[in-house]
Amino acid sequence: MTNAFSETEERQALRREVAKLAGKFGRDWFVEKARSGEKTTELWLELGKNGYLGINMPEEYGGGGGGIGDIAAVCEELAGQGCPMLLMVVSPAICGTIITRYGTEEQKRRWLPGICDGTSTMAFAITEPDAGTNTHNISTTARRDGDEWVLNGRKIYISGVDEADNVLVVARAEDAKTGKVKPVLFVVPTDAEGFEAKAIPMEIVSPELQFTVFLDDVRLPADAIVGDEDGGLVQLFAGLNPERIMAASFSTGLARFALDAAAKYAKERHVFKDAIGAHQAIAHPLAQSHIEIEMARLMTQKAAALYDAGDDMGAGEAANMAKYAAAEAACDAADRAVQTHGGNGITQEYGMAGLLVATRAGRIAPVSREMILNFIAMHSLGLPKSY
């Protein structure tokens, strides 16, 4: 029975190797890069060189032939060493998965090898200023013009556009007459005429920037479409379930990093007679975080297993619950880590305060906790739709 509750030796070995690699860089290096406006390209290319970026993609395109659970493990271990790589959620997990599932053979050979080895990154653009979390309200349009498509619209909070060669853009056909969106997925080169990206000033300390993207009569060839133009939400959710699984792993990794730092400090810091970790006011909140993190990790592993088994509906429910649980665990762990450090918790030297914003983002993106609760209320409990 115990084997059912543990990862394979291969997955555990993967975790150890990724943690070892990320540990050579570490949190201080990561934060220094972010604060100085530099990129973490060196770590990214090392991940690609060792086969970790493409571990979830087919071997014939340079990948490792693994599943979403493998790339999620990589994402978690990076964050666990203080080096959360947001573009892992976007490029190999979302874009790589969608292209693997729905791309033509030519598209797979054109884009997947670069995503796998890290030499080419693909961003993902769905969020819009006026649509928020309502995917059905996206207004970026795609209009046919002979053998070409013309895109117009605006996207917001798009990660890593300045590091990407292409962006997988979610648009809707201009002639769609229904109120429901039938999204069409286009690969748009970042150097295309009419494509413009403007960085958004953010409080979060991250080397990966957020952008507003403007699409002004961007012309694309017919083969820029990934999948069937009438494929609808099914194709889109092929990437959104992995996105939630990866977001959960991102959060649990950060939570582990915060908790490890807090526990270390609690063992070493002496104020009265004993180390502060001997006091239940310190020990119990940290123990609670450990429990919450492990529960979130288990749900994340369940979601990944369901997705890799082809159970998209089951994976959708589990992925949403995992993302919710992981974000909550991460926010609590970061808050408790700051409190454990006392005044040191809000200094740059100890690096805890920055985790408050980093983990808090997990409650908002890529889908808000409120929308997850709506999903669970409707689909898991059968309650009436509230929106």
Tens digits of per-residue pLDDT, 279-288? 999 999 999 9
Q: Which pLDDT belongs to residue 135?
A: 77
Instruction: Give the three-state DSSP class for 128.
Output: coil
What are 23's two structure tokens? 């540990």
Tell me if residue 108 falls in helix, strand or coil.
Answer: helix
200, two tokens? 């958004």
| Whole-angstrom distance, CA of residue 114 vs CA of residue 166 | 11
Alpha-helix runs per DSSP H in 226-352: 233-268, 280-308, 312-341
Does residue 314 contact residue 306 with C-beta atoms inside 8 Å?
A: yes
- What is the pLDDT, as a whole number, of residue 128? 95
What's phi and psi for 351, nearest 5 deg? Answer: 70, 25
Asked if 30 and 39 count as a contact pair (C-beta separation under 8 A), the reply is no
Dihedral (CA of 48, 50, 53, 54) sign: positive
Q: Give residue 233's pLDDT.
A: 76
CB 248 within 8 A of CB 326: yes
Helices 41-49 and 105-117: crossing angle, nearest 10°? 120
Low-confidence ranges of the chain (pLDDT < 50): 1-2, 176
Residue 177: its pLDDT value, please? 56
Reported as a single tens digit per residue, the pLDDT across 129-176 is 998 777 778 899 999 999 999 999 999 999 999 999 999 999 998 654
Contact 335, 356 (CB under 8 A): yes
Using CA atoms, how far residue 235 sits from 99, 137, 291, 336, 361, in Å, is: 10, 17, 35, 40, 26
Strands 183-189 and 166-173: antiparallel
**Tens digits of per-residue pLDDT, 174-215?**
654 555 557 899 999 999 999 999 999 999 999 999 999 999
